[in-house]
């Protein structure tokens, strides 16, 4: 340690000690940002049966094959986009509302504009609106064996077999055809004849995904259902389809007492500023520089050290001054370390170097009394060196 060096850790020392944790924090931040970027970049591809998603749950494989067979596909994220895609075209509408964003009435209005309609896993309200007499029939086990078509619907006959996940029940007297029958009169596909074209209800959203499109007759079923016309609108409803009233304005949400209370508070603050400003009186002009006695500066700094319990920093400051003065008295260069000054002092006074080092470097106070004792020891050591040098000079 040099003469001007402090025992109190500096900013550089603290940064060096915290370097490992800073590097860990930066590394964790970089990893988090990379993960967020990757997740955000693929967020649009994680929706099930999204037309342009190559993910296992997406449907890019089926869409690509349909386009190769001459089917023009329009993707829609809202009922407005889907209606525009159906306008003036003899098109097939495919709807998969996994999040339940589209209400039953909106689905019925879109179905009226399409030639063929294929709805994947409709809920109870959708069934009541677009397919009266057809009810939800429950779910089948995931490991259930593929089921034969056993119906006259051309698309189902082409598929021959299919996996059945969710089923439908057909009430007596309803003009509908059930395919892929499960037990107890339940079906994995229901086709309802209409004047414009059939309405088909499907109960297995995984059948059209990239992961399962090649299983069994899924590909044949999908191509025949969705490729019946040259135009296909692929509609996956989003939050934009949720019908809500306009949100209340800030004025509607604000209680009636807020405005007068705020005005009163502002007037009170202005009055308080004038009151306090007049009470302080005019500004006193004082010539600079202002002479501050050294004793006041020392006492003020000492009070700050005492208030903050900065005993180490206080004794450190006293030692730095004492070591600097002792080096000058002993004729040592400015680059001499505190330990070199301590050894030279011990040699001059014929004292144990360890005791002198303890006073000038090593001992740290843990209480105010120890601080005062160590301060007195530093002052006494400097006084003895001066006295010894003066005595040697007279001799």
> DSSP secondary structure string, 152-182?
--HHHHHH-EE---EEEEE-TT---EEEEE-
pLDDT in tens, the chain (395 residues): 444 444 455 556 666 666 667 777 777 787 777 766 665 544 444 689 999 899 998 999 999 999 999 999 999 999 999 999 998 778 999 999 988 889 999 999 999 999 999 999 999 999 999 999 999 998 888 777 888 999 999 999 999 998 888 999 999 989 999 999 988 889 999 999 998 889 999 998 888 999 988 888 899 999 999 998 999 999 999 888 886 555 666 776 778 888 888 888 888 888 888 777 666 666 777 777 667 676 777 777 777 777 777 788 888 888 888 888 988 888 888 888 888 888 888 888 888 888 888 888 888 888 888 888 888 988 999 898 888 888 876 65
Which residues touch 53 (CB under 8 Å, ≥6 apart)? 44, 45, 46, 47, 59, 60, 210
- Furthest-apart CA atoms within the chain: distance in Å: 134
SS (H, E, C) 27-76: HHHHHHHHHHHHHHHHHHHCCCCCCCCCCCCCCHHHHHHHHHCCCEEEEE
Q: How many other β-carbons are positioned within 10 Å of the β-carbon of residue 309?
A: 11
pTM across the whole model: 0.54
Distances (CA, A) of 66 to 74, 78, 100, 155, 212: 12, 22, 26, 15, 16
């Amino acid at each position: 340690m040099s003469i001007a060096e402090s025992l109190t850790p500096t900013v550089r020392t603290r940064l060096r000690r915290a370097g490992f944790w800073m590097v860990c924090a930066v590394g964790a931040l970089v990893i988090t940002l990379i993960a967020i970027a990757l997740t955000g970049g693929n967020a649009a591809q994680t929706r099930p049966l999204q037309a342009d998603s190559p993910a296992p749950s997406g449907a890019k494989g089926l869409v690509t094959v349909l386009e190769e067979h001459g089917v023009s596909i329009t993707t829609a994220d809202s009922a407005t986009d889907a209606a525009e895609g159906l306008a003036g075209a003899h098109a097939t509408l495919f709807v998969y509302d996994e999040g339940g964003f589209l209400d039953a009435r909106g689905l019925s209005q879109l179905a009226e504009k399409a030639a063929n309609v294929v709805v994947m896993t409709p809920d109870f309200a959708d069934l009541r609106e677009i397919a009266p007499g057809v009810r939800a029939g429950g779910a089948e086990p995931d490991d259930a064996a593929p089921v034969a078509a056993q119906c006259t619907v051309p698309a189902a006959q082409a598929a021959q077999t299919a996996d059945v996940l969710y089923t439908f029940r057909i009430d007596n007297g309803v003009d509908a055809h059930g395919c892929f029958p499960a037990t107890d009169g339940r079906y994995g596909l229901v086709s309802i004849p209409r004047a414009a074209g059939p309405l088909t209800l499907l109960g297995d959203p995984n059948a059209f995904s990239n992961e399962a499109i090649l299983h069994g007759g899924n590909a044949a079923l999908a191509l025949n259902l969705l490729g019946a016309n040259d135009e296909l609108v692929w509609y996956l409803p989003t939050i934009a389809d949720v019908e809500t009233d306009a949100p209340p304005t800030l004025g509607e949400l604000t209680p009636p007492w807020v405005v007068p209370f705020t005005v009163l508070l502002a007037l009170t603050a202005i009055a308080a500023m004038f009151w306090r400003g007049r009470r302080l009186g005019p500004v006193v002009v004082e010539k600079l520089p202002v002479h501050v006695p050294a004793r006041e500066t020392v006492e003020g700094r000492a009070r700050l050290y005492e208030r903050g319990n900065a005993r180490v920093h206080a004794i450190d400051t006293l030692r730095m001054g004492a070591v600097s003065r002792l080096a000058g008295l002993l004729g040592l260069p400015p680059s001499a370390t505190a330990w070199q000054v301590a050894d030279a002092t011990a040699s001059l006074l014929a004292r144990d170097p360890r005791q002198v080092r303890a006073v000038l470097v090593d001992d740290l106070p843990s209480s105010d009394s120890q601080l005062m004792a160590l301060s007195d020891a530093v002052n006494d050591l400097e006084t003895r060196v001066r006295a010894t040098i003066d005595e040697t000079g007279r001799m």
